[in-house]
Amino acid sequence: MAGENNRTTDHDEIRRWAEARGGRPAAVQGTGEGNDPGILRLVFPGARRTSDEALEEISWEEWFRAFDRNGLALVYQDTTAEGHQSRFNKLVDRSSVRA
């Protein structure tokens, strides 16, 4: 259904969805310490970014380690209500996602 949100914790599904839209794994610079990259994001070419977030691309492996360690899930949309490819995504607490 167009405009419908999906939820997943599946690494392959997340990576396929992001890469189909040119998305890459990233972290907000200055938010992590040691092996923790900090606040995670998916970045897309040409997407507007807030001026206060300096994003640094990281590997998928590092992104997924932090994703699992922090108990996250991805809420995402395949298409907009108008039927166009959507890049909408949001990282949420895994416990808020029904199995």
Q: Domain-by-domain residue ranges, the chain?
A: 5-96
Q: Are 87 and 44 in contact (CB under 8 A)?
A: yes
Q: Using the predicted structure, report yes or no on whether residue 91 has a pLDDT greater than 70.
A: yes
**Euclidean distance between the first and final Cα of the chain, in Å?**
20
Structure-token pair, residue 11: 């690494």
pLDDT band at 4 (very low <50, low <70, confident <90, very high): confident
Q: Phi first, then psi: give them for residue 17, nearest 5 degrees.
A: -60, -50
- Express each pLDDT in 27-64 by its tens digit: 998 888 888 898 999 999 877 665 556 889 999 999 99
**In the chain, beta strands by DSSP E:** 5-8, 24-28, 40-43, 55-57, 72-77, 89-93
